[in-house]
Amino acid sequence: MVTLGCARNEVDSEELAARLESAGWQLGDDDPDVIVVNTCGFIESAKKDSIDTLLAAADSGAKVVAAGCMAERYGAELADALPEAAAVISFDDYTDIGGRLDDVLAGRPLKPHTPRDRRTLLPISPVERVNGSAHIPGHGALPAGLAPASGPRTLRKRLSGGPVASLKLASGCDRRCTFCAIPAFRGAYVSRQPDDLVAEAAWLAEQGVRELVLVSENSTSYGKDLGDLRALEKLLPRLAGVDGIDRVRVSYLQPAELRPGLLDVIAATEGVAPYFDLSFQHASGPVLRRMRRFGDPQRFLDLLAQVRERAPEAGVRSNFIVGFPGETEAQFAELADFLTEARLDVIGVFGYSDEDGTEAASFDGKLDPDEVEQRVAALTELAEELTAQRAEERIGTELEVLIEEDLGDGGYEGRAAHQGPEVDGAVTVQGIGLLPGQIVRAVAVDSEGVDLIARIKAGS
């Protein structure tokens, strides 16, 4: 199983792994019969990476199956363009993934699907309950090592160790951003039930997880389809109270939907990281309107002020699209000025490119690709300077660091509450006898870019 893309894909792979194991398949790296590549289809570079990975997998001699977002998005078109793949499967194939791989191994051809707009489709419950036990349709009780009957609604098997794991709040998205194709192939927003999430959190804790990272296409929409706009506010304290879970982190927050009550819960609940992954995408009001989003520099700065009033050391990150159709030099400068004032911990910069099936692909005012590239380079350079300065501001502050890896020679790598996994930098802690999964109090003594160097606080 090879996973590309975001944390949501990682959870999808763990759900597929559970179904495969229940169906009698064994996951391993040594001389596989089949390689399943869980692809990403979000932007052009991700699609290229997916194709390269599929071709490399085919060179191994194993049968290759394309799954995930790119496979769902292009279906038969991808199958025609990539004969090296033995099969291209849809999300609809996931509930019987074992059977699909049985067909692939036996050489029975699988007809690739014709993609359709999934926003009009109803979700299918992937797990049945039989006499109080979890079953996959067509299979018996779960083998040892998978989430138990009291666990998640969707079956899951951890594919990696470590004290951090993602917990998927929902699937799909109801927003209609003009640059994004995700709602069309992921479908409408469907929240998972709070009790299922708490049960999965307890199961993850039993597997050694100490930090939960809540993921979805838009976490601030959680509970809307359940009829409760305060569902996430109520869920976070429950998750933080799960025995064995020390930290809960929320990702993918929409600024326009970050209500004061939710802001308060994230900023002030013990066990919930004061961490705000805010999807700004731009700062210029006119550009945001063309994106079918809301906000402007002052509104965003006011929101950041509210965050820091409640939690002065909160971590804040965001991503920005540069070169959107019609973006003027003045609007680009407005974005740069906003970043200078915003004092974000992490800034992701992406150049605009047309995505199939999106409204923006038909917009006038497309910028020359060279101009987009120049603006990306300029904003990236500014972002690196600004985030390094923000890290320097944290020197001398006390950090709660979750230890993730022993680096040897008295050094340990971990993350503070203001740092999300993989993309937000890390903290190197100098100490003795620390263990992965342990949270220690340390003082930042130096910085390198967005990374910090810290020493264990005396007496901790």
Specify the residue for token string 């993602």.
166
In this structure, are residues 416 and 429 in contact, taking their beta carbons and an 8 Å threshold? Answer: no
Q: Is 1 helix (H, G, I), strand (E, B) or coil?
A: coil
Structure tokens at 290: 């063309």
Does the annotation flag 242 for ligand binding? Answer: no
In this structure, are residues 232 and 220 in contact, taking their beta carbons and an 8 Å threshold? Answer: yes
* Distance (Å, whole) CA 282 – CA 279: 9
* Distance (Å, whole) CA 430 – CA 450: 18
Does the annotation flag 6 for ligand binding? Answer: yes
136 burial (CB, 10 Å; 0-12 / 13-18 / 19+) is buried
* Distance (Å, whole) CA 382 – CA 305: 22
Q: Is 443 helix (H, G, I), strand (E, B) or coil?
A: strand
Between 329-342 and 297-310, two packed helices, what is the crossing angle to 10 degrees? 10
In this structure, are residues 404 and 161 in contact, taking their beta carbons and an 8 Å threshold? Answer: no
The 3-state secondary structure of 73-96, one letter per residue: HHCHHHHHHCCCCCEECCHHHHHH
Strands (DSSP E) along 243-313, which ranges?
247-250, 275-277
Does the annotation flag 429 for ligand binding? Answer: no
Does the annotation flag 149 for ligand binding? Answer: no
Does the annotation flag 237 for ligand binding? Answer: no
* Distance (Å, whole) CA 129 – CA 172: 24
Say which amino acid occupies 49. D
452-460: long-range pairs with CB below 8 Å, 24+: 452/391, 452/394, 452/395, 452/399, 452/416, 452/425, 452/426, 452/427, 452/428, 453/427, 453/428, 454/399, 454/401, 454/427, 454/428, 454/429, 454/430, 455/429, 455/430, 455/431, 456/429, 456/430, 456/431, 457/398
Name the binding residues for [4Fe-4S] cluster: 6, 40, 69, 173, 177, 180
Q: Which residues are annotated as a binding site?
A: 6, 40, 69, 173, 177, 180
